[in-house]
Amino acid sequence: MHPLASSLAAKLSPQTNRRALIVDEWLRVKGAEDRIFCVGDAASIEQKRSIDHASDLFDEFDKDGNGFLDVGEVHNLLKHASKAYPQFQEHIRLIQTHQSQQHLSHSTFQELSLMVLPFLSKVESSAIQDAFDAADKDGDHLLSKTEFVDFLSAMDKHLRAMPATAQVAKQQGKYLARLTNAGRLHDVEHAEPFHWKDYGSLAFIGADEAVANLPGIGILQGILTGLLWRGFETSGQQSIRNRVAVASDQVRSKLFGRGV
119-138 pLDDT, tens digit per residue, is 444 445 676 777 788 888 88
Greater model confidence, 178 or 80: 178
Contact yes or no for 228/114 (Cβ under 8 A): yes
For the chain, the straight-line distance linking the first and the last C-alpha, in angstroms and rounded, comes to 45
Tell me the average pLDDT across 208-213.
88
Predicted confidence band of residue 97 (pLDDT cuts 50, 70, 90):
low
Tell me the average pLDDT across 225-247.
88
- What does the mean pLDDT of the chain come to? 81
189-209 pLDDT, tens digit per residue, is 888 888 888 788 888 888 889
- Provide the residue ranges of all domains of the chain, joining segments of one domain with +: 3-47+171-190, 50-156, 201-256
Alpha helices for the chain (secondary structure H): 3-10, 54-61, 71-81, 87-104, 124-135, 145-156, 166-181, 223-235, 240-256
Residue 177 has pLDDT above 60, yes or no: yes
Residue 102: the pLDDT is 56
Q: Domain 50-156's class?
A: mainly alpha
Residue 174 has pLDDT above 90, yes or no: yes
